[in-house]
Structure 1
């Protein structure tokens, strides 16, 4: 009798497992079908949206029947969200009349409401998306709310707000740098620099104050800004940064001095060289390579012979090659008093030239 009960329970357990497996298979198939439908819809919807944008740009959007069909799609929230995404992506690709046509679609189909709704959500990616969309469509009424997001604790939100302010206001939109205590990534700095097309004439005082910021990222961004616009008046302030506590700032200062160089730059590089860490010394040598100044020849030879770091010796030899000192390098490589390591360094530098 007990064996009968055990066998009965075993059969029930097997049936239960089979039912669970069947339910799991049905769930996986259902989810796969749902995902396929979403992907299929997005693909077909994207084609419809892109065709609509093309018609609007070229001025052939006059089919009433097709407009009615497009209006039916717009009742679907997912379609409206995709429409807004494609419009923003298209806005980056076009300019002039085409850009105006894209903006007209944004207002015609009241997609501004979608962007505003995102801006007031709690999730960071939605808020950042709303900021991006309102900025791309140049909705100036959003500036006060976007400006308030500059102080948001979430990286995605405050970075998008920074970019939006510069998109709206250009150089004036950089006002947030005055009190920025958050990181400013290299990628974000490049985005901001790309969006600034000119600097007002009376901007020296503001730029100088950014160079004095306690936030190293702000100082580095300002140095890049000086390089981009060749702000020669900032040369002395940039030179003073060679005593900065952060090596990354000193490296950027060297690059900026080279970009806005004057007749004293090479001699200043040589004067401060020994007081700098290796990373900065290597950057100085890179700048000398770009400058191709014969004023640095003796200095470079000194570093080649006597500097303790191999990396500096290699860079010095490479700069000498650029200055046309190939013969000098060959001669010392053949001298009996030249040690093996230096010979290898010279051969490497000469080989680099051939390559």
Structure 2
């Protein structure tokens, strides 16, 4: 009797498991079918949208039937969202009359309302998307609200607001740097630098104030900005940064000095070399390699012979090769009193030059 009950329970358990497995299979198939339909519709809609954009740029062909079908699709919220995304992506690829045509579509189909709604939502990615869309379509009425987002605590939001302000105002849009106390990522710095095409002669923004910022990432960005536009007047302020507490700032200062070098640069590198950490010393040697100044030869030979770090010895030897001192290096490598490590370093440097 006990055996029959146990067998009955086992059969019920197997049936329950099979039902659950069946339900799971149905769920997976349903989700897969739903995902396929979404992808299918997105692919189809994207082709319709891209055709509409092309038609607007090159001139319409008067197909009213196609226009009515497009208008019908616009009633779908998902279609409008995709239309807005494709417009923003297309705006980055075109300029001139084509860009204006894309902008006209944005206003013609009242997609501005979609972007404004996103700007006022709670989710960070939606707010950032709204900022991006309003900036791409040059909706200047949004500037006050976007400017307020510069102080948002969410990274994606304030970064998109920064980029938008530079898109709207160019160099003047960098005004937020004066009081910015959060990290400015390398990627964000590159985005901002790429968006700035010129620095007005009459500008209220003071680069020297940013160089004195307590935010290291702001100082680094400013040094990159100086490099891009070859702002020679800040050379002395940059040299002063070689005493900065952050090694990353010192490295960028060396790169910037090399980019806007003058007749004193190499001598200044030599003078401060001994007080710098290894990372900065290596950057100085890279700059000397780029400068190709004969003034540094004796200094480089001293580093090759006497410096404690192998990396510095290697870098010094490589610069000497670039300066045409191959014969000197070959000569000392063949001397019997030259220690083996130095011979290997010289051999490495000579081979690097051949490659």
Which TM-score bucket, shorter chain as reference? Answer: over 0.9
Following superposition, the deviation at residue 61 of structure 1 comes to: 4.8
Q: Which residue of 1 aligns with 2:24?
A: 24
* 1:193 and 1:225 in contact (8 A); partners too: yes
Distance 1:219 1:201 in 2: 21
- Matched with 1:231 is 231
- Superposed, 1:330-341 pairs within 5 Å as 330-341=330-341
Q: How does 1:179-258 map to 2 (within 5 A)?
A: 179-203=179-203, 206-258=206-258
The C-alpha deviation readout for 1:23-65, integer Å capped at 9, x for no partner, is 1111111000000000111111111111111111101253211
1:61 to 1:108, Cα distance in 2 relative to 1, 3 A: farther
1:52–1:61 Cα contact (<8 Å) kept: no
The 2-side partners of 1:28 and 1:300 are apart by: 68
Partner of 1:35: 35
Cα distance in 2 for residues equivalent to 1:305 and 1:152: 54
For the aligned residue pairs, the C-alpha RMSD in angstroms reads 1.1
Residue 329 of structure 1 is matched in structure 2 by: 329
Distance 1:309 1:248 in 2: 20
- Residue aligned with 2:98, SS: helix
CA contact (8 A) 1:53 1:102 kept: yes
Superposition deviation, residue 15 in structure 1 = 1.8
Which whole-Å CA distance do the structure 2 matches of 1:204 and 1:315 have between them?
Answer: 42
Seen in structure 2, the aligned counterparts of structure 1 residues 262 and 150 have a Cα distance that, compared at 3 Å, is same
Measure, in 2, the Cα distance between the counterparts of 1:94 and 1:184: 28
> Could you say which residue in structure 2 is the equivalent of 1:104?
104
Deviations 1:269-300 (A, max 9, x none): 00000000100000000000000001111111
Tell me the equivalent position of 1:5: 5
Q: How does 1:60-75 map to 2 (within 5 A)?
A: 60-75=60-75
Alpha-carbon displacement from aligned partner over 1:233-258 (angstroms, at most 9, x marks no partner): 00000000000000000000000000
Shift of 1:3: 3.6
Q: What is the Cα deviation at residue 207 of structure 1?
A: 0.1
Separation of aligned partners in 2, 1:60 and 1:209: 52
2:142 corresponds to 1:142: yes
Instruction: Supply the distance in 2 between the matched residues of 1:351 and 1:3 (Cα, whole angstroms).
Output: 84
The CA distance in 2 between the partners of 1:89 and 1:204, in whole Å, is 33
> Is residue 291 of structure 2 the alignment partner of residue 291 of structure 1?
yes
- Range moving further from structure 2, 18-27 or 296-305: 18-27
- For residues 180-205 of structure 1, the C-alpha deviation after alignment (integer angstroms, 9 at most, x for no partner) is 00010000000000000111224597
Q: 1:4 deviation in Å?
A: 3.5
Higher mean alpha-carbon deviation, 258-267 vs 58-67, is at: 58-67
Instruction: Describe the superposition over 1:58-111 as per-residue Cα deviations: whole angstroms up to 9, x where unpaired.
Output: 012532111100011111111111111111010000000000010011111111
Q: 1:14 offset after TM fit, Å?
A: 2.0
| 1:49-60 aligned within 5 A | 49-60=49-60
- Determine the C-alpha separation between the residues in 2 that align with 1:214 and 1:293: 34
Shift of 1:2: 3.9
Residues paired across the two proteins, number: 355
2:262 corresponds in structure 1 to: 262
Name the counterpart of 1:348: 348
Q: Deviations over 1:187-232 (max 9, x none)?
A: 0000000000111224597100000000000000000000000000
Question: Is the contact between residue 116 and residue 130 of structure 2 (CA under 8 Å) also seen in structure 1?
Answer: yes
Secondary structure at the residue paired with 1:183?
coil
* Structure 1: tracts of 5 or more residues without a match: none
* In structure 2, distance between residues paired with 1:123 and 1:204: 35
SS in structure 2 of the partner of residue 308 of structure 1: coil
Contact 1:247 1:280 in 2 (8 A): yes
